């Protein structure tokens, strides 16, 4: 740590032509926080990681309740973080039964309310839990929240049994009539996070010359590096190396797209041809955004409800949606379990990235809670009970992991949403159809 009365402010930006790169938490920022009386405060983050079309419960749900020694086959990729993992069983979204379809699974996941049935623009839902958090704490960061995905969505009109496509397109709603668009293009997200100057066309023209955004802030980097101690210099180097590597991957994807354009896309895309590469780019970008305190609230739609994506890399060549209607066929159930396991492994990649970031009082994962789950339980019958719900919560979140919490009766998912708001110091009397809170998260009985 630097021994000086002067310190960097918590939010410090490296600036240059068309760029503003926020620095992560450094030791040099601690004295400034101490002077403001907030040195002991933890900057907590909250994220949501949506997986579509439910689960095969047998390889997912642990047999034992309470303390877990290991995770089930579908969740095995999370075993390295077992002490931070809470598996929850028998949670449901009651208001989703009124429609019982893919639209309600998606839009009710963070709202827990019934969607208005309409194919037009007079749609109505409810403010989602992530946006309630963003409205309370979002003023502390440049971006109140990020809404991310992997599908470039352009569908409008009726998408599911008389329900407008917007219900499947958007996880997050900032008001009952305001769905937030999901960003799936890494280039656009990168420029949102790090672009600050000139028009988008001017920035694109500069970047098309194979220039790096970081080249524009090199002088500022050098000036700050001279003020930092050895430990902070290492942190800055690692962080900026990650930014540069993410930018390189985006540029490579853009070059591949230009070489083999996809006719169905209406705008130039910087999306990798390989879906897993795309997912990991979006994960790395949200990690950078959280690390630099550009936002503290993220929602990520891993894949869209009723997705027909195939997964030949894991031996599932049939589209996900038909596989999910398994009819209790053991072969189809095994394929569904493979898809579940694969999706969970990508959540595991997110946890790895968060856990690799040192924040002084622990890792970024130690200061973060992510809820992974789906608005559908048994996809074969579009069921909204016994949802696949997993929490990853670090040491500084107040949530004790390494457990399986199973309710004897179906319990509203809204109870969990309300408790996660509590963990972010956002306190409400109630949310949607909640019947209480999940006190076991903070006061484990076993």
Please report whether residue 73 resides in a domain: yes
Question: What pLDDT, on a 0 to 100 scale, did the predictor assign at position 372?
Answer: 98
pLDDT digits (tens, 9 = 90+) for 271-311: 888 999 999 999 999 999 999 999 999 999 999 998 999 99
State the Cα–Cα distance between residues 230 and 291, nearest whole angstrom.
19
Confidence of residue 157 (pLDDT cuts 50, 70, 90): low
Cβ density class 434-445: b for 16+ within 10 Å, e for less: beebbebbeebe
Cβ-based neighbour number of residue 200 at 10 Å: 12
Instruction: Give the predicted TM-score (pTM) of the model.
Output: 0.90
Question: What pLDDT, on a 0 to 100 scale, did the predictor assign at position 159?
Answer: 67
Cβ-based neighbour number of residue 121 at 10 Å: 10
pLDDT digits (tens, 9 = 90+) for 351-362: 999 999 999 889
State the Cα–Cα distance between residues 33 and 14, nearest whole angstrom.
20
Of residues 220 and 74, the one with the higher pLDDT is 74
Using alpha carbons, select from 395, 393, 396 the residue that is nearest to residue 405.
393
Confidence of residue 265 (pLDDT cuts 50, 70, 90): very low
Which helix (H) or strand (E) segment is 373 a member of? strand 368-373
pLDDT digits (tens, 9 = 90+) for 6-35: 567 877 888 876 678 888 888 888 755 544
Please report whether residue 191 resides in a domain: no
pLDDT digits (tens, 9 = 90+) for 120-138: 889 999 999 999 999 999 9
Using alpha carbons, select from 33, 46, 17 the residue that is nearest to residue 418.
46
Please report whether residue 28 resides in a domain: no
Question: What pLDDT, on a 0 to 100 scale, did the predictor assign at position 395?
Answer: 94
What are the angstrom distances between the C-alpha of 68 and each of 79, 87, 123, 401, 402?
A: 10, 9, 43, 9, 6
211 CB-near residues (< 8 Å, 6+ apart): none
Report the CATH number at residue 373: 3.40.720.10
Tokens of 303: 């894949």
Please report whether residue 343 resides in a domain: yes
Please report whether residue 135 resides in a domain: yes
* CB 160, CB 151: distance < 8 Å: no
Tokens of 19: 């760029």
Provide the number of structural domains found in the chain: 1
Average pLDDT of the segment spanning 334-355:
98
* pLDDT at position 266 over 50: no
Confidence of residue 96 (pLDDT cuts 50, 70, 90): confident
Q: Which of 82-96, 249-263, 421-435 has the lowest mean pLDDT?
A: 249-263
Which helix (H) or strand (E) segment is 131 a member of? helix 129-137
* CB 417, CB 83: distance < 8 Å: no
Question: What pLDDT, on a 0 to 100 scale, did the predictor assign at position 199?
Answer: 56
pLDDT above 90 covers a percentage of the chain that reads 61
Please report whether residue 241 resides in a domain: no
Tokens of 70: 């290991």
Confidence of residue 164 (pLDDT cuts 50, 70, 90): confident
For the ranges 110-124, 152-166, 190-204, 410-424, the one whose mean pLDDT is highest: 410-424
Question: What pLDDT, on a 0 to 100 scale, did the predictor assign at position 132?
Answer: 98
Tokens of 357: 């970031």
Please report whether residue 355 resides in a domain: yes
Please report whether residue 92 resides in a domain: yes
Question: What pLDDT, on a 0 to 100 scale, did the predictor assign at position 37?
Answer: 43
Pick left, alpha or beta for residue 112 (phi over 0 → left; psi -120 to 50 → alpha; otherwise beta): left
Question: What pLDDT, on a 0 to 100 scale, did the predictor assign at position 444?
Answer: 74
Using alpha carbons, select from 58, 84, 86 the residue that is nearest to residue 72.
58
> Which residues span the domain enclosing 133?
42-184+271-441
């Amino acid at each position: 740590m630097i021994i000086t009365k002067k310190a960097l402010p918590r939010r410090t930006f490296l600036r240059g032509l068309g760029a503003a790169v926020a620095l992560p938490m450094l030791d040099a920022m601690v004295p400034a926080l101490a002077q403001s009386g907030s040195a002991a405060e933890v900057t907590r983050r909250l994220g949501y990681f949506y997986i579509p079309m439910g689960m095969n419960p047998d390889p997912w749900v642990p047999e034992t309740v309470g303390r877990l020694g290991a995770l089930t086959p579908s969740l095995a990729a999370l075993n390295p973080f077992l002490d931070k993992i809470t598996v929850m069983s028998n949670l449901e979204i009651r208001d989703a039964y009124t429609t019982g379809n893919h639209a309600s699974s998606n839009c009710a996941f963070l709202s827990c309310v019934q969607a208005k049935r309409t194919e037009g623009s007079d749609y109505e839902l409810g403010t989602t839990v992530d946006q309630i958090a963003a409205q309370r704490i979002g003023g502390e960061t440049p971006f109140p929240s990020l809404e991310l995905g992997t599908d470039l969505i352009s569908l409008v009109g009726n998408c599911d049994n008389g329900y407008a496509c917007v219900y499947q397109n958007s996880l997050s709603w900032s008001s009952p009539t305001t769905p937030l668009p999901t960003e799936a293009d890494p280039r656009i997200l990168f420029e949102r996070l790090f672009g600050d100057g000139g028009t988008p066309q001017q920035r694109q023209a500069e970047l098309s010359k194979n220039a790096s955004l970081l080249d524009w802030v090199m002088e500022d980097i050098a000036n700050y590096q001279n003020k930092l101690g050895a430990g902070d210099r290492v942190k800055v180097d690692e962080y900026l190396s990650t930014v540069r590597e993410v930018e390189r991957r985006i540029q490579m994807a853009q070059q591949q797209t230009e070489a083999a354009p996809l006719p169905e896309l209406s705008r130039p895309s910087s999306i990798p041809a390989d879906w897993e590469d795309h997912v990991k780019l979006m994960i790395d970008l949200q990690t950078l955004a959280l690390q630099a305190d550009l936002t503290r609230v993220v929602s990520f739609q891993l894949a869209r409800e009723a997705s027909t994506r195939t997964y030949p890399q894991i031996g599932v060549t049939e589209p996900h949606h038909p596989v999910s209607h398994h009819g209790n066929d053991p072969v189809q159930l095994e394929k569904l379990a493979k898809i579940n396991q694969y999706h969970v492994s990508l959540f595991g990649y997110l946890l790895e990235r968060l856990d690799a970031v040192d924040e002084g009082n622990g890792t970024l994962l130690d200061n973060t809670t992510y809820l992974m789950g789906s608005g559908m339980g048994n996809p074969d019958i579009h069921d909204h009970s016994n949802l696949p719900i997993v929490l990853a919560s670090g040491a500084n979140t107040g949530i004790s992991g390494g457990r399986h919490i199973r309710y004897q009766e179906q319990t509203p998912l809204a109870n969990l949403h309300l408790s996660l708001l509590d963990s972010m110091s956002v306190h409400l009397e109630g949310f949607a159809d909640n019947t209480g809170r999940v006190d076991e998260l903070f006061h484990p009985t076993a």
